Structure 1
């Protein structure tokens, strides 16, 4: 069950608590990656059972905790190879967890705990909002003894320590910060910089140095103003994002992007704050950066392909409309009634295909809003079949969006059946043709669309019905086209039947997905 749903059921949390915890679990990958640690989110079991008062009163020493979320680092190996979500906190750690909750302070374990030959350091961090704990984090790292840590590891662990302190006070993540996994969102492994209050660089990770080298800077970044350094690398006259100064000085938790030397780089700032008598006071910032040049190139390529495909559909539509117009001109020169009718039917079929390409030329996907398309096509097919005849048309149900490989043959099939219903079913009389669509799922999970076209005309004789379903040459070109499209293009089936008191019903089953 999603975290929000689990917490909402308890009814124990105040305004914004659940949303903030959800925001934290969206952002805590940064802590896991910089702290080289696994992190688990715990909530007292009694709170989830509806004991509202536990959030404002000390816990009993035997109060159990349930794990609701877990994150693993991507910068080192995990210490938990099994998913802990839904499990209870072990008895050996329970005392420290309760002590951390009741004292509102972080608590480490007195003794080292071992899991699968790995010695762990465990620390509990209470999450305080509005003066009361709302959850508990447990931070688990492998104990490496007295091994001397490299500069990068020390800097990363300092970052994690700063962020955990802010998390404990409910000061991070901030609701004003952009959320989500947008394309190009920088990660810890992409590049990390530590800034002081003035925006000068205190530390730059090797990947961050590589990014700036590709931008044209090869010196030592430490001590440099990141804003001034970055601006000096931008092309002359380049108008940078107006948020760039606030991001590159770490003043606001925003994102920005620059382009220089044919390189695209995104930045994300996380202001670091400490609590003072003046409130939350900024004392530095963490800045993540990422080279998104290849990503932006692929996005541009995809946009270009989409535009090309839309242009192709547009030109195909224009060409088909030209063919339709030529057929119309040719039909007017025909003296034979049979030849004239044949050309008019061909013109109608070409126009139907053109309408599908017109719909495809207006969208970004190869899907057609079939309800919009068939709404126009259905009425047009009835009018073209018999211009001097009054026929009412009615649509029941919704087709939804259909892929082009389904939309084109289905539109042609409906066009042929409607024309046949007007010309032969109603046979020059006033009547009604109804188009219906419904969706169903077979026990095997296959998505079936059932399309039916009904008229209140003269109906079918048994002989005519057998001839239609056999697809014999004597059944006519339109029927043969329908049978071929339904079986080969739609992978479906078609059935003719009579309806009472009189009329014909054509039912088509189309398999949309397996």
Structure 2
């Protein structure tokens, strides 16, 4: 089935500005459908002259006429004559007869979509006449407001050319709406809108009073006031804002109403977002606490690393000094992972950034001052939970340190490549060096590691016990050593969809 963007590509006569205007229209016309209690269709003419439904909008305030999508379908032949008439018009046109959609009797009203004096398409408002049998004031006020917005499409007044939208939870018609006059006086407020202001602490009657005064009376002297709030309360601009009072929060959005002479008033949509804001504050507090914990852990680890460094300086034993330096390096590895975690609001770290810094540090610490050893990467690790990131970083730094200390002994330069293939929680890592080869890195059939062999124990323990994986040491065909890790990340199942199979080794 064709979508809206694909249908627009069949109209090469449309400029980029025309396409953007149409996108703005369908992004914002839900409010017209909801106010009008009607389905909307955007109909456009194809290159062959036939009419096709480019987009549709179902109302959320009444049962829709159309269960199935009709986007991409050609328009019924009995509507073509009226569509031709509207395409040549600059004003809305009401059909002089009812049509049938399923079993419903439908009244069609058409408006041309105008921009810069040209007609880009037609919006068809389809009203189920069964919904007009018993309307009260709420329904009448809502329908009339929807008609005004609908008529603005033909005058190039809707969609708004410069709307200012900043809130994440924008109010909808069903949440509550207020109709204000050109002077900003409340002419009508729906029951839900009245309830919103009651929660804010307003007990006064809204109808007949300035909405700006009602809102201002709720704000205390030192309360922060968004710059956009006065524009919303007066209805003078297409903008949204939020009013906080009485430990409640209401998100509001103003929709100015225009006719041929100028602005006539506005619709102000209201939505009680008190519970949403409360939950957001709880999450912010939780995130800040987690980040602070990681930050403190990082600082404590760095303090331990500094103590080990101080101890190493004071010892006279070269062997003890080397062992302390190895312990310091491993603690610094864990601290670096926590540094990455302290900069995020969750338990996830961009492992590629963390490991590149750690491995470069491992190379610098293990190599001699006159050595130039390059390290490169193929593929990516991606985002990784802390539960996996910390042990994996220790494994990789041990492998790099081992390669530098034993593979490049007596050599001035070399190259190490880390290749990564990830598919969901399955991870394949290959570490290759062009050093002296496997013979120089083995002792009694086991891969040698720095110091007492603790590095090899760390690698084997984490890979086999923690990750349930395997480690394979083998000669590199071009000379050097190749280490292959096949592991399954323990905490990455929830993030598997973020990674594609094309990251796998080829």
TM-score where L is the length of structure 2: 0.87
State whether structure 2 residue 251 is matched by structure 1 residue 266: yes
- Equivalence for 1:53: none
State whether structure 2 residue 435 is matched by structure 1 residue 457: yes
Shift of 1:237: 4.1
Shift of 1:408: 2.1
Shift of 1:454: 2.4
- Equivalence for 1:35: 36
CA distance in 2, matches of 1:410, 1:358: 16
- Equivalence for 1:131: 117
- Equivalence for 1:16: 17
Cα RMSD for the two superposed structures: 3.0
Shift of 1:388: 6.5
State whether structure 2 residue 53 is matched by structure 1 residue 67: yes
CA distance in 2, matches of 1:5, 1:179: 27
Identify if the C-alpha distance between structure 1 residues 166 and 465 changes in structure 2 by more than 3 Å, giving closer, same or farther: farther
State whether structure 2 residue 265 is matched by structure 1 residue 284: yes
Q: How does 1:215-294 map to 2 (within 5 A)?
A: 215-276=200-261, 281-294=262-275
Render the CA deviation track for 1:22-41: whole Å, top value 9, x for unaligned.
00111011011111111111
> Among 140, 143, 150, which residue is 2:129 paired with?
143
Identify if the C-alpha distance between structure 1 residues 465 and 173 changes in structure 2 by more than 3 Å, giving closer, same or farther: farther
- Equivalence for 1:301: 282
Shift of 1:340: 5.0
Aligned length: 487
- Equivalence for 1:6: 7
> Among 329, 334, 339, which residue is 1:348 paired with?
329
> Among 400, 403, 408, which residue is 1:426 paired with?
408
Which piece of structure 1 moves more, 305-314 or 119-128?
119-128
Identify if the C-alpha distance between structure 1 residues 73 and 494 changes in structure 2 by more than 3 Å, giving closer, same or farther: farther
Judge conservation of contact 2:417–2:433 (CA < 8 Å) in 1: no
CA distance in 1, matches of 2:356, 2:154: 58
CA distance in 1, matches of 2:70, 2:240: 33
Where does structure 2 lack aligned partners over 5 or more consecutive residues?
A: 498-506
CA distance in 2, matches of 1:326, 1:130: 73
Where does structure 1 lack aligned partners over 5 or more consecutive residues?
A: 50-62
Identify if the C-alpha distance between structure 1 residues 213 and 194 changes in structure 2 by more than 3 Å, giving closer, same or farther: same
Judge conservation of contact 2:407–2:440 (CA < 8 Å) in 1: no
Identify if the C-alpha distance between structure 1 residues 509 and 26 changes in structure 2 by more than 3 Å, giving closer, same or farther: farther
- Equivalence for 1:78: 64
Identify if the C-alpha distance between structure 1 residues 502 and 435 changes in structure 2 by more than 3 Å, giving closer, same or farther: closer
Q: How does 1:387-398 map to 2 (within 5 A)?
A: 390-397=371-378
State whether structure 2 residue 101 is matched by structure 1 residue 115: yes
Shift of 1:295: 1.7
> Among 173, 177, 192, which residue is 2:177 paired with?
192
CA distance in 1, matches of 2:482, 2:34: 64
Shift of 1:267: 1.8
State whether structure 2 residue 83 is matched by structure 1 residue 97: yes
CA distance in 2, matches of 1:465, 1:136: 81
Judge conservation of contact 1:96–1:109 (CA < 8 Å) in 2: yes
CA distance in 2, matches of 1:116, 1:9: 30
State whether structure 2 residue 384 is matched by structure 1 residue 407: no
Shift of 1:171: 0.9
Identify if the C-alpha distance between structure 1 residues 174 and 157 changes in structure 2 by more than 3 Å, giving closer, same or farther: same
Identify if the C-alpha distance between structure 1 residues 145 and 464 changes in structure 2 by more than 3 Å, giving closer, same or farther: closer
Shift of 1:270: 1.0
CA distance in 2, matches of 1:428, 1:326: 32
For the residue of structure 2 that corresponds to 1:16, the secondary structure is helix
Judge conservation of contact 1:41–1:135 (CA < 8 Å) in 2: yes
Which piece of structure 1 moves more, 408-417 or 98-107?
98-107
